[in-house]
Structure 1
Amino acid sequence: MANERPVQLDIPALEVEKLFYLEAKCDPIIPVGDVGTAELNIYCISEGYFEGEKLRGEILKFGADWNYMYPNRYDVMKTRYLLKTDDGAIISISTDGRYLNTLEQDQALDRGEYVDPRNYYFRQHIFFETGAEKYKWLNGVIAFAVMGIKPTGEICYNAYMLK
């Protein structure tokens, strides 16, 4: 019959696994200015750490966050930086994220006040690249982060992979 739908494929339910908690400090803003569609600000990543059950270590002082700030409070972040595990492996990480908040929340953060990360949207897609045998499994995962900003300015997130 023309109105019958085919049997749908039994697709597995979404499962996630927490990879690590990460906290990054950034150097003062480098304002590039209006690039035609948004204000571009660059934040160099100066240090930090990450820790989880399968990997932990430090963030190397190498990399930055390119933050495109649109007038409608919709920000797009693109980052690239390096992780060094506690056993010496180097992992390149790049992200593509979105940040949605209010002017009042931005002003509170600028004053060093706490703004609950549950009250704004700060998420990113994470890509890993490494040649270290122990961590090559990261090269093939789909990962994302749920993020927040400390009153002292550190960017923090929980990184998850889809199973």
Structure 2
Amino acid sequence: MASKQKPLQPSIGSEFDDIPLKMHVPQLEFIYRLQCEMAKENDHVGAAFGGTNERIVMPILGGTVKGPEISGIIQERSGADWGTAVQGTNYMRLDARYTLKTSDGYCIYVQSKGIFSPQREDFFAQGHPDTMSQKEVEWFTRLEFEAGPGPYSWLNSIFAIGVLGMHDRRIVIDAYRLTNFPGMRPAVLNARQEQTKL
């Protein structure tokens, strides 16, 4: 997932602290675009203990993943978003889990936690829109991957974020790796095997 080297931008934090450590702004490297089909009906669990936050289960039916080093599908009905809606607001905390299956047959488990926050109080006044853009919502997620040995094991060691939107009722996620080392391949880490003492 190499990309062209870009100059590192100094952190504005230096204006608020005079320590000699030079910090810089990390960079984003594109991983893939995911399109996701959600079920038409959600499961409204409600608010536990009569509280104010309502659990809503949003089943994931399937989808596609396309990027420079990965392509495949979301396994059919492999997961959902177990979101929490904050009553009295349009704000929701996201908690999704699902499985990707790559075009060359590898399975990757994805866990995604984030936020959904429209920027207008009347966002849902006309009902739930079929399209949502980055100009309308703060919609981000932290992506964690679990991949077995093979060509996608580099996903295990990265810090990734997802930037979300929706088109024609399909959720779109652009996934990026956050890095201090743009253009350098992520490390492939393998657990050390303990030596058996005889």
TMscore range, shorter length? 0.7 to 0.9
CA distance in 2, matches of 1:119, 1:162: 24
Alignment of 1:39-50 (within 5 A): 39-50=54-65
Offset of 1:116 from its aligned partner? 2.8
1:161 equivalent to 2:177? Answer: yes
Paired residue secondary structure (2:123): helix
1:52 equivalent to 2:67? Answer: yes
Map of 1:8 onto structure 2: 20
CA distance in 1, matches of 2:111, 2:93: 13
1:144 equivalent to 2:172? Answer: no
Map of 1:18 onto structure 2: 30
Offset of 1:139 from its aligned partner? 0.4
> Larger deviation: 5-14 or 118-127?
5-14
Paired residue secondary structure (2:20): coil
- Tell which structure's C-alpha radius of gyration is larger: 2
**TM-score, normalised by the number of residues in structure 2:** 0.73
1:110 equivalent to 2:128? Answer: yes
Q: Structure 2: state its 5+ residue gaps.
A: 1-16, 180-198
Assess, with a 3 A threshold, how the Cα gap between structure 1 residues 50 and 74 changes in structure 2: closer, same or farther: same
Q: Which has the higher helix share?
A: 1
Paired residue secondary structure (1:104): coil
Map of 2:101 onto structure 1: 84
Paired residue secondary structure (2:122): helix
Q: Which has the higher strand share?
A: 1
CA distance in 1, matches of 2:114, 2:27: 21
Assess, with a 3 A threshold, how the Cα gap between structure 1 residues 30 and 12 changes in structure 2: closer, same or farther: same
Paired residue secondary structure (2:148): coil
Q: Deviations over 1:101-159 (max 9, x none)?
A: 145323446253x3433221000000000103211110010000110122x32111100
CA distance in 2, matches of 1:25, 1:107: 24
RMSD over aligned Cα, in angstroms?
A: 1.8
CA distance in 2, matches of 1:131, 1:34: 37
- Whether the 8 Å CA contact 1:109–1:115 is kept in 2: the answer is no
Assess, with a 3 A threshold, how the Cα gap between structure 1 residues 11 and 74 changes in structure 2: closer, same or farther: same
1:69 equivalent to 2:85? Answer: yes
Percent identical among aligned pairs is 26
CA distance in 2, matches of 1:12, 1:64: 36
Offset of 1:162 from its aligned partner? 1.1
Assess, with a 3 A threshold, how the Cα gap between structure 1 residues 99 and 87 changes in structure 2: closer, same or farther: same
Q: Deviations over 1:55-85 (max 9, x none)?
A: 0100002111011110222210101100001
Amino acid at match of 2:59: C
